[in-house]
Every structure is written in structure tokens, then in C-alpha cells.
Structure 1
Amino acid sequence: MSGAQRLFGDDQRRARLAVRHRLAAGRAAATCEEVVDALAVLHATDPATVFLTVGARLADPAAVTARMEAALYGPASTLTRMLAMRRTMFVVPREAAPDVFAAAGQQIAARERKKLLQYLAEGGGWDEKWLAAAEAEVEAALAELGDSSGAELSRHVARLREKVTVARGKPYETTQNVASRIIRTMAAEGRIERRRPAGSWMSGQFRWARAEPLPARPVPQARAAVVRAWLAAYGPGTAADLKWWTGWGLGEVGKALDAVGAETVRLEESGEGFVLPGDSDGATAEDAPAAVLLPGLDPTPMGWQRREWFLPEEHRAALFDGTGNVGPTVWWGGEVIGGWGQRADCTVVWRRLADRGADADRAVDAAAAELTARLAGVQVTPRFRTPLERELAS
């Protein structure tokens, strides 16, 4: 990690963010894949976020739902969902999936399997041999049936209909079906994958399909690839930002930064930061600002641990829930200037938190009207609701 210790001011970081994350005028993407590449990954805990994140950055957002569904579920799909960094669900490019899995997903999958075996043993007395038989039956059912919902699989695999007792002997003792836990663990391991949901584009009830085994990657190589993608999209950032985003330890982050030859720079408020080799040279383009409405859990505001340089601390309480999930935000010139929500009649409304002038206000009004028209009467309620979004929706 070497470099000339160039200073990156907050203004310059905001300009880079707006350009690289497709939030500046004239920088909108032509395809869904371009958006994902620009952001490295999409947050997918809330299924609606995936479509709203991409639609906000496309030059032509018409038919974004159909285009994203083709990219995710079509015969030549280019994107896939997977559990990865911080045990969070992401959409990643299929070509990046082996690195993301080796860098983060496989460790999480191992922990999920350990917890599942404990859950089965304590709740039903079943062991690893029983679980292996259940998983083999799931794979055989998918080979026979094709894409199937959890309910359809349960009808064909008797072991999925078994129940376990949770909190045995306690006042809140209950029974649970084992199906969802087994299926989720198989998905975390990359043995099966989520396909088109049973409901609308906002549904989290996915069908399941057999997955092609991912090519193996050495963990150090995979972590370097993930850090390289993060620096390309989010650099400059700090080691603490990367630690938070990846869920790794600082030692693991440091090794990955060394592996990519990251250059050290100075940041205005947070000290030492890092960029890709050669990425500290030259002026940052300062494109004309554009008004953009990003959904809750959008990758941009979730990309760093420290956000004061684009989102003042005094606005955090209004825009985040109690566990650190960001709600819908309004952007102008690479910074958050407000939040938005939907009224009961599905109209998109917003509130200004930072005054950037009449031009900005008019542009946000137009963006809100455009999003209202594009949603066409569909009510999108964020999975993690925040104070300002709740207030605007009431």
C-alpha cells in the first residue's frame, strides 16, 4: 500500500461518487448490468430495492422490471442472488460469484450449516446423515420438477415436512417446519439458487433451482478481487469502511489491500484512505448535478461506514432505522439532501433536509413525479422503515 498521500477533499469525493455511481447528469447507464458493475453489488435483502436501485440509474427506466427479471432469471442470466458479505443478500454479476463466494459466502455457509445441524439435533434428534439424505432428495426433486417453490418441494420431499421443537420446556416453546432452514442453507452453499419469485417483483417468496457448482477460488485471490471491485466503485475509502462492508477483520482487509497494491491517500475528515493503483491521479470530473431518488438499502449510502462527507450526522436519525439500515434518500451533486416516501395514494413525496437552491428543488420535484408515474399505482413499503419515510407515508 503505497502512494503520494494525495489529499481527497469531501467535494472531490462527492464528485467521484456521483460520476461512478451513475448519479450525475449524463452518467445514467444503458443496461442493468452496467449499474451492477458500477456499484460492485446490489443490496437484495429487500427484493424491491434491486429494481428501484437499477431503475434510478438507467437512462431509460421503462420496462426495468422485465429487464432485471431477464438478467436474473432468463435463460442467459447475467446476475444472481447470493448470501455474502455480513450475511447479507446481494445481487452480483455471475462472473463475480466465484470470488464473492470464496471471499465471504463460503465462511457464512459453513456457519449456517453448523447452526442448522444444531437446530435439527436439538429440535428433532436428527443428525448430519439425516440432513444429507434430505438435501439429496431436494436436489432430485428439482431435477425432476424444475424450478419449484418451497411449498412444492415440501410436497415431494417428506423430510421437508418434518417439524422441530424450539425452546423446549419454556413458556414460548413452539414448533417449526424444517423446510425453510434446509433450503436456505443449501442456497448459501451454492447448491441451489433463487429463481423467479412466486409473486410480483417485490416478493421474497422465490422459486428454487439446481445451481451449477461455482469454480473454486483461493481465498486470498478472491478477497483481493472483492476489494478491487469495492475500490473501483467506492474508493477512496478507509480500512474501517472496508472492514464494515466486507465483515472481515482488519488483518484480512490489510492483506487484501496489499494484494491489489492499493495506494494510500489522505481524506479530509477520516485520515488515511485507499484507492486503486493509479486512481489518485488527475482531476475528478465534476458533472452537472442531477436529482436522484434512491430506495432504502441502496448500495451507495450503504457503501461506507463513515458517511458524514455525503450525509451530515444530524440527518442520520431521520434516514436510518435503529439497526443501521438506510431508508429512501434524495440525492443532488453526490450528497443526500432529503428523504422520500409514498403516500397512501402511491404519490411519491419528499422532504428537503439540506437547501441546495431552487434548481435542486425543482429537479427533485420532477424526479418524484417521474417515479410516481413509473410505479403506476404500486405501493412500495421498505422492509426496514425509517422515521422520515414513515412520516411522509402517513
Structure 2
Amino acid sequence: MATIRPKISDRQRRAMLVHRHLLAPSARATSVEQVADALVALHATEPATVFLSVAARMTGATPQAVEQALYEDQSLVRMLCMRRTVFVVPKALASVVEASTARTVAARERGALAKVLADQLGHDAAWLQAVERDLITALADLGEADATQIADAVPQLKERITFSPGKPYETRARISNKVLTVMAAEGRIRRGRPQGTWASAKFRWTLAEPHAQVPADHARIVLATCYLTAFGPVTLDDIKWWTGWNLTHTLNALAGTGAVEVDLGHATGYVLPDDPVLGPPDRADSGPAVSLLPSLDPTAMGWRDRDWYLDPAHVPELFDRNGNICPTLWCDGRIIGGWGQHEDGRIVTHLLTTETDRRVRTAIAAEAARLTEFLGEVRIRPRLRTPLVRRLSG
């Protein structure tokens, strides 16, 4: 007799999202590390995203608390990993992320750099290795330095290569940033404090401690288990997209988690056998769960299939051509609009739906005030120029 798969509705998934991703006031974390643990990895392509993702989910959050975790305690580790994207992950998970995804990304980055150096400058692998040894020595002496200071100490890094040759956006730049990217991807160096405010993208670099070695197959199972815990139920396509794995690695990792199938209505989903979503529904919060999430927030970018929390008609307003999402406004596990910050510091919001009542609007105003206090004198300028971002910035 065929096994009947439990059915999980979109409403159940949104209720799960609100609590697991700490978007309800009653579910908020009390530490930066709790936020990172709940979401597995925080997007860090835009430096401000890490801080704002924490601010939305933590009681009493301050920029100083996030800086403490990143640069003093080093309880969070910045890595180039899933989908060749920069993330911040809990230190305890760094070796798993390195073995399951970052190692492959780093190998591709090194191969691409070696080809460019050979094709454009005639340098071989031995030349690059010598430059990297000099870079490590320079950083050991300097302690912490930006790319310009490192290039002053290692003049070979000032050589230039052409990016996107023959394209309208062709540029020439020093090889320093490419070399630093490869070495960071390999976990040999790491980004330290930025120059300027916590929202600045001009980082200093320092030496990194090596990660413990973990077998890749085992690491993929552990990472898939973490993802299912935080984001389940998910589809096979969700797992493959979020991790950046090929289909074989995705299937093997999923099998290793012991996940069970559920019916999502439009697709087959997977959850861990002890997932609370399979049990009786939790009592709903009394008030609306409203959040202002930043560009590339891990919740907004956590699934390939987003129709259960995002009206497809709103995609053109919120996403750029590369599939990256701008700052979003959430209510009860659903995207209902977006937000931006004016030069005078005011938080402005734009609703994409008319289905909001007074309680929701009051909660939106309260969250905007909370975010304003967190930002202080810092101004956020998202690099993503979606139609909604342009409208709000105007």
C-alpha cells in the first residue's frame, strides 16, 4: 500500500517561516550568533546586509554587537561559498561549508585566475605561488592592511589585466583584487574591519586560521540537514539552487539526511523526520509579524520557488536582472512591499498590496522606527537598482 504523504499548505509554510526565521516579535533572538544559527548563513555580498539581517531579528540589536561577533570574537566567518556568493556563517559550521561548497568554488576561482595570468601576462603557476608567499609574509608583518597597502608591499600585485575584453563594460584593473579573492576563497586570508562605517565595502585583510578538514560527502549531508532544519519543507530544486551543487551531490546529500517527502500541492517537498511542521500547528501570535529585511536577505533568497510567499506579479519590482532581491517589507511570512532610506535618514516604505489594516500599518511604523534607531547616522545605498529601489530613492 502506498504511503500517504503529509500535505503542507502555503499558510503552514509561512507560519513556519515567521518563527524559524525569527520574524515574529516573540521569536526574536538575543544574540547575533543565534540569528546566524537560525538562518545557517547570512548573505554578505553587500556588507550592510549582515547587520540589517541581524537588526530585523534580534532584540536590542546594535551595529557594535555585530562587529563584536565578526571582528573580535570571530564567532562568525565570512566565506565565498554557496553559488559563489559571499556569506557569513557560524564558526562551528565553517569547516562544513568549506568542504561542501567553498573548496569547489575556490578551485574554479584559481583556475580562472591562472588562465587570465597566463593569457594576458604570460605568468605561470610558479609565479603566482611566489606572489602569494610574498603576500602572506607582508600580511604577517602588517597585521591588517587594505588592498592598496598590500600591493605597495608586493609590487607584482599592481600589474593589470583586462576584464570582459571586447565588451562595452571592458575595464582594466590590478590583479590584486583577484589574487585576494582566490586566497580568501581558499581560507588563507580573511576580511577584517572595513574602512569607514560598518556599511563600507572597503575592507582590510588579515591572515586566517585554517578550517578543520571534513570529508566532502559528509559535509554535504551536514549542510543539507542544516538547510532543511532552517528552510524546510523545500523542494529538490530549492536544495540544488541554494547550495549550488550538481544533481548527483544534491540527491546523495538529501538521501543522507533521512528526509521524508511531503505534498506541497504544486510539488514534492522534503522535511526532516522530526520537523515540527509535521505535528499540530503552533498557536499563532496575536499581532502581525512585520519585518523590514535588507537586500539579499537569507529569507528572501532562501528558496528557488518563491510563489508561496511572493506574488509573481511583484517580481519585476523587487528583483534585478540577475535574480537579486532589493530591501523588502514582510508581514506574516509574505512579502507585501519594499523599503528604502532617504538621505535625511527617514525610512520610507511602499506597499505592493492593498490588503493591510491599521494594525499592520502601525507595526510597519514601529519597525521603521526600530530600524532608524539601529542605523543612526549611517546611510544605506543598495547596489541593486530595481524599479522599486529607484522609486523609493527618488
Q: Same fold (TM over 0.5)?
A: yes
* Percent identity (aligned): 45
Sort the Cα spacing of 1:132 and 1:39 in 2 relative to 1 into closer, same or farther, 3 A.
Answer: same
Partner of 1:365: 365
Sort the Cα spacing of 1:338 and 1:94 in 2 relative to 1 into closer, same or farther, 3 A.
Answer: same
Equivalences for residues 1-394 of structure 1 within 5 A? 5-61=5-61, 64-74=62-72, 76-164=73-161, 175-268=172-265, 270-279=266-275, 280-285=277-282, 286-288=284-286, 289-354=288-353, 355-394=355-394
**In 1: Cα distance, 2:230 partner to 2:170 partner:** 47
Counterpart residue identity of residue 138, structure 1: L
**Contact 2:197 2:378 (C-alpha < 8 Å) held by counterparts:** no
**Contact 2:81 2:98 (C-alpha < 8 Å) held by counterparts:** yes
| 99-108 vs 313-322, which moves further | 313-322
**In 1: Cα distance, 2:170 partner to 2:18 partner:** 51
**In 2: Cα distance, 1:173 partner to 1:332 partner:** 42
Structure 2 counterpart SS, 1:190: coil
**In 2: Cα distance, 1:6 partner to 1:346 partner:** 47
Structure 2 counterpart SS, 1:90: strand
Q: CA deviation at 1:144?
A: 1.3
Counterpart residue identity of residue 391, structure 1: R
**In 1: Cα distance, 2:255 partner to 2:126 partner:** 42
| 115-124 vs 351-360, which moves further | 351-360
**In 1: Cα distance, 2:164 partner to 2:250 partner:** 38
Sort the Cα spacing of 1:325 and 1:164 in 2 relative to 1 into closer, same or farther, 3 A.
Answer: closer
Counterpart residue identity of residue 99, structure 2: A
**In 2: Cα distance, 1:162 partner to 1:151 partner:** 12
Sort the Cα spacing of 1:132 and 1:336 in 2 relative to 1 into closer, same or farther, 3 A.
Answer: same
Sort the Cα spacing of 1:370 and 1:173 in 2 relative to 1 into closer, same or farther, 3 A.
Answer: closer
**In 2: Cα distance, 1:359 partner to 1:319 partner:** 24
Q: Deviations over 1:53-107 (max 9, x none)?
A: 001111112xx21111111110x31001000010000000111111101111111
**Contact 1:78 1:94 (C-alpha < 8 Å) held by counterparts:** yes
Structure 1 counterpart SS, 2:77: strand
Sort the Cα spacing of 1:166 and 1:237 in 2 relative to 1 into closer, same or farther, 3 A.
Answer: closer
TM-score by length of 1: 0.94
Sort the Cα spacing of 1:82 and 1:314 in 2 relative to 1 into closer, same or farther, 3 A.
Answer: same
**In 1: Cα distance, 2:338 partner to 2:115 partner:** 43
Structure 2 counterpart SS, 1:7: coil
Sort the Cα spacing of 1:165 and 1:305 in 2 relative to 1 into closer, same or farther, 3 A.
Answer: closer
**Contact 1:15 1:287 (C-alpha < 8 Å) held by counterparts:** no
Sort the Cα spacing of 1:27 and 1:3 in 2 relative to 1 into closer, same or farther, 3 A.
Answer: farther
**In 1: Cα distance, 2:291 partner to 2:384 partner:** 20
Structure 2 counterpart SS, 1:349: strand
**In 2: Cα distance, 1:239 partner to 1:4 partner:** 19
**In 1: Cα distance, 2:9 partner to 2:88 partner:** 31
Structure 1 counterpart SS, 2:12: helix
**Contact 2:199 2:378 (C-alpha < 8 Å) held by counterparts:** no
Taking only aligned residues, the RMSD between alpha carbons, in angstroms, comes to 1.9
Q: CA deviation at 1:271?
A: 1.5
Sort the Cα spacing of 1:17 and 1:166 in 2 relative to 1 into closer, same or farther, 3 A.
Answer: closer
**Contact 1:16 1:284 (C-alpha < 8 Å) held by counterparts:** no
**In 2: Cα distance, 1:330 partner to 1:253 partner:** 32
**In 1: Cα distance, 2:319 partner to 2:166 partner:** 38
Q: CA deviation at 1:215?
A: 1.2
TM-score by length of 2: 0.94
Counterpart residue identity of residue 71, structure 1: A
**In 1: Cα distance, 2:163 partner to 2:249 partner:** 36
Q: CA deviation at 1:167?
A: 7.4
Sort the Cα spacing of 1:3 and 1:186 in 2 relative to 1 into closer, same or farther, 3 A.
Answer: farther
**In 2: Cα distance, 1:379 partner to 1:205 partner:** 15
Q: Number of paired residues?
A: 389
| 377-386 vs 216-225, which moves further | 377-386
Q: Deviations over 1:307-333 (max 9, x none)?
A: 111111111111111211111111111
**In 2: Cα distance, 1:176 partner to 1:158 partner:** 14
Q: CA deviation at 1:363?
A: 0.9
**In 1: Cα distance, 2:179 partner to 2:251 partner:** 35
Structure 2 segments unaligned to the other structure (5+ residues): none
Structure 2 counterpart SS, 1:26: helix
Structure 1 counterpart SS, 2:26: coil
**Contact 2:76 2:90 (C-alpha < 8 Å) held by counterparts:** yes
Structure 1 segments unaligned to the other structure (5+ residues): none
